[in-house]
Amino acid sequence: MEGFLVSDHYHLYPKYLEMIIPQIKGVNVVYVEDIAEGLENAPKALVGLFYGRNVGKQVVMLSQMGEEVMNNKQIILKHYVEGYPNESDMEFKNSIIKLNVPEGSNVVVLMNLYLSCDPYMRSRMKNLEDSYVESFTPGYPITGCGVAKVLKSGDSNFQEGDLVWGMIGWEEYSIVTPAQSFLFKIHDKNVPLSYYTGILAYVGFYEVCSPKKGETVFVSAASGAVGQLVGQFAKMLGCYVVGSAGTKQKVDMLKSKFGFDEAFNYKEEQDLDAVLKRYFSDGIDIYFDNVGGKMFDAVLLNMKLHGRIAMCGMISQYNLKKTEGVHNLLSLIAKRIRMEGFIVSDHYHLYPKYLEMIIPQIKGGNIVYVEDIVEGLENAPNALVGLFYGRNVGKQVVMLEMAEEMMNNKQIILKHYVEGYPKESDMEFKNSIIKLNAPEGSNVVILKNLYLSCDPYMRNRMSKLEGSYIQSFTPGYLITGYGVSKVLKSGDSNFQEGDLVWGMTGWEEYTSIVTTTQSMFKIDHDKDGETVFVSAASGAVGQLVGQFAKMLGCYIVGSAGNKQKVDMLKTKFGFDEAFNYKEEQDLDATLMRYFPDGIDIYFENVGGKMLDAVLVNMKLHGRIAVCGMISQYNLDKTEGVHNLFCLIAKRIRMEGFLVFDYCHLYPKYLEMIIPQIKAGNIVYVEDIAEGLESAPSALVGLFSGLNVGKQVVMISCE
Ligand SMILES: NC(=O)c1ccc[n+]([C@@H]2O[C@H](COP(=O)([O-])OP(=O)(O)OC[C@H]3O[C@@H](n4cnc5c(N)ncnc54)[C@H](OP(=O)(O)O)[C@@H]3O)[C@@H](O)[C@H]2O)c1
């Protein structure tokens, strides 16, 4: 008799699997399962075993293969609404969604980022019949314009990761059919993604009003989503523009921020006709109507002959059981006024054209776009209701948790592994999106990168390395290197928002890192009166080593690759001597000239022939700190070093080091160097290239000696 446990035989598992699977496939062996669906049914299934309820192998299926089941918070319309809407007309609900695309379906699974609050949504809360829009269905989520990210797609026009705008649900995840949802891909991510919820309705100004320079334009609800843009475009065309709004703050903003010529608070005016006469003594050419009602009636009396009215919206009427009557329509005839309503969706085909127009204006700062962003789906009902009380200042948007500070993030990518000298075209500029959040205790720190260091060793990382002390960059991904950054958010209690830090970061505007190390340069231990030679001496490392050696009372000589740098070594950094290695035929002789008694310390930055020459000029018990060997980085095969026997003959200590081995010493050395720099005892020369786009040429320039001092790329001067 022999007992067994299956786990004792796990090592035989592959063998038996190989045997059974073909048998099952060939239907020689039948395997019956009893599958319970859903985690909630698992206890019952387990218990059932003991009552013999299962027929075959009892299994609990949590989700189909590839089918993700997620919680999905939603905002539901509870019932049709009369009068002013209230928050209580909507409710917050937790539901479940399967984030999968059924086979053969063309649906797209979206993770929702921003929702737009629009006045027309009030109409959809009614039981509408025969309207240009459909009613919301009580008991179901509200829908509206929004920005989302594609998680899965059954439509070949949309890929996972695409950012889109269109009609989505007021929920965390939506599954939509692209055509029904008017889904548009977002191509230009250089403006905040939330802008795509609202920068379109001003098309009516161009398409309906045909504005001309010098015309007089009146805009109501002028500080809102649509009004602010219409006013600014009218100003750009050279029109005289007046706006109305419902608070002093908004009126001030119209003039000071959006550049309207005049603005007034309609709530403080008894006689709208008189107000309009005050601002438009010769009448109004164009009225962009957002409010309807009494304002519209007053405008009709003040229109010019052949005036145009774009009927964009009538928010003052949306909550009334019966709309107010308009009394002055006869003006249309007497003044031959053209009045035309428009719906933004009729103009979707013009969207690319208008986007091409507005985005450069926003980027260039010619157009300002003010948003009123509330955070969290649960606050969406309040934000929507607020429109009808004028609570919003600018475009009302709801930011969902998943969008939390999704920022545009420009990056420099390595395109492919590099052979020989690197070229700018080995790298490329890419726009991406980053989520700027760092949950407490996560050790995640979000950095705004200020300066990037271009270092020769980065060339190695552009090659496919194996068994190296550093890792290759990954083609298609971001380049990384040392940089100076500001902490924006921190999940690590050692770092606070606002801290300036130095360490490994990405070649991008923002970086999210998990904190592990901080780094520091270590300088070899110099002794008073010793002789020191530094190669690549005017560069980032060399200039500091030389100056510290001088401060310690050493005799210091440096080499560099042009006259300007050699002069700088002596005049700016206080080296005793310096020479241009490119002009020297016999480096051994040169060193003998400057070090007739030999070199105590060589700080090695270049390698190759210089190292060979130094070796023969070292003193007994000399020390060589091997910091880098830039002359060898771009060679297929390094030059041979011939004089290494000197190490033995002169008992020389030669030691390579990597700055990250000395991270723990960083605070100590910083404490030493910063007061010296502040006091002007140490000079630090930088060669600053401005803008992330100039980073590749700055990096490439290192290898032809274009940099004077530490090569840095400044991304932001904050
Ligand atoms: N035709 C289309 O395709 C289209 C597209 C988008 C929008 N629209 C319409 O354009 C208008 C503006 O929309 P928006 O998205 O830009 O909204 P918004 O102006 O950003 O927000 C609505 C604003 O309307 C004002 N308002 C509310 N009740 C009012 C009332 N009884 N009388 C006068 N003003 C009132 C409030 O500002 P104050 O503080 O100034 O009162 C409120 O902040 C709306 O009528 C909307 O329906 C039409």
For ligand 1, whether the C-beta of 116 sits within 6 Å is no
**Number of domains into which the chain is organized:** 5
Residue 223 located in a structural domain: yes
**Domain end among 402, 424, 457:** 402
For ligand 1, whether the C-beta of 222 sits within 6 Å is no
Q: Give the pLDDT confidence of 397-444 residue by residue, as tens digits.
A: 999 988 866 677 888 889 999 998 889 899 887 878 787 777 777 778
Both 430 and 467 in one domain: the answer is yes
Both 212 and 355 in one domain: the answer is yes
Handedness of CA 191, 194, 198, 200 (dihedral sign): positive
As given in the structure block, the two tokens for residue 36 are 């319970």
Q: What's the longest Cα–Cα distance across the chain?
A: 111
Residue 716 located in a structural domain: no
Q: Which of 640, 641, 642, 597 is nearest to 622 (CA)?
A: 597
For ligand 1, whether the C-beta of 247 sits within 6 Å is yes
Owner of token pair 């050790």: 443
pLDDT at 521 exceeding the cut of 50: no
Residue 711 located in a structural domain: no
Both 251 and 216 in one domain: the answer is yes
Do the beta carbons of residue 700 and residue 424 sit within 8 Å? yes
pLDDT band at 649 (very low <50, low <70, confident <90, very high): confident
Both 84 and 227 in one domain: the answer is no
- What is the CATH number for 120? 3.90.180.10
Cα(685)–Cα(548) distance, integer angstroms: 14
**Mutation probe of ligand 1 site: the residue of 118, 247, 315 with most atoms within 8 A of C-beta:** 315
Report pLDDT for 65: 43
Q: Give the pLDDT confidence of 45-63 residue by residue, as tens digits.
A: 776 777 777 787 777 665 4
Cα(147)–Cα(111) distance, integer angstroms: 9
Q: What are the phi and psi torsion angles at 504 (to 5°)?
A: -75, 130
CA of 228 to the centre of ligand 1 (A): 11
Cα(339)–Cα(683) distance, integer angstroms: 70
Report pLDDT for 349: 85
Residue 376 located in a structural domain: no
CA of 197 to the centre of ligand 1 (A): 15
For ligand 1, whether the C-beta of 315 sits within 6 Å is yes
Both 551 and 475 in one domain: the answer is no
Handedness of CA 480, 486, 492, 495 (dihedral sign): positive
Cα(582)–Cα(610) distance, integer angstroms: 11
Q: What are the phi and psi torsion angles at 616 (to 5°)?
A: -75, -15
Q: Give the pLDDT confidence of 567-593 residue by residue, as tens digits.
A: 999 999 999 999 999 999 999 999 999
Residue 526 located in a structural domain: no
Both 240 and 308 in one domain: the answer is yes
pLDDT at 522 exceeding the cut of 70: no
Return the number of other C-beta atoms located less than 10 Å from residue 458's C-beta: 21
List all residues 6 or more positions away from 406 whose beta carbon is below 8 Å from its beta carbon: 113, 193, 433, 434, 435, 436
Residue 134 located in a structural domain: yes
Cα(618)–Cα(612) distance, integer angstroms: 10
Cα(445)–Cα(443) distance, integer angstroms: 6
Residues across the chain: 718
Both 476 and 327 in one domain: the answer is no
Cα(680)–Cα(267) distance, integer angstroms: 62
Residue 640 located in a structural domain: yes
Please give the residue range of the domain that contains residue 42: 6-61
Q: What is the share, in percent, of the chain residues with pLDDT greater than 90?
A: 50
CA of 313 to the centre of ligand 1 (A): 7
Both 470 and 566 in one domain: the answer is no
Both 263 and 336 in one domain: the answer is yes
pLDDT band at 7 (very low <50, low <70, confident <90, very high): low
Report pLDDT for 66: 44
- What is the CATH number for 253? 3.40.50.720
Cα(589)–Cα(180) distance, integer angstroms: 81
> What pairing do the DSSP bridges indicate for beta strands 216-219 and 240-245?
parallel
Average pLDDT over residues 555-564: 95
For ligand 1, whether the C-beta of 313 sits within 6 Å is yes
Q: Which of 398, 423, 481, 454 is nearest to 194 (CA)?
A: 398
The residues that bridge with 489 in the sheet, in sequence order, are 446
Cα(607)–Cα(535) distance, integer angstroms: 9
Q: Whose CA is nearest to atom 37 of ligand 1?
A: 390
CA of 224 to the centre of ligand 1 (A): 6
Both 134 and 217 in one domain: the answer is no
CA of 292 to the centre of ligand 1 (A): 10
Q: Give the pLDDT confidence of 118-160 residue by residue, as tens digits.
A: 999 999 999 988 888 899 999 999 999 999 999 999 999 999 8
Q: Give the pLDDT confidence of 595-634 residue by residue, as tens digits.
A: 999 999 999 999 999 999 999 999 988 899 989 899 998 8
- Three-state secondary structure string covering 404-437: CCEEEEEEEEECCCCCCCCCHHHEEEEEEEEECC
Residue 141 located in a structural domain: yes
Both 223 and 357 in one domain: the answer is yes
> What pairing do the DSSP bridges indicate for beta strands 618-626 and 653-656?
parallel
Both 505 and 477 in one domain: the answer is yes
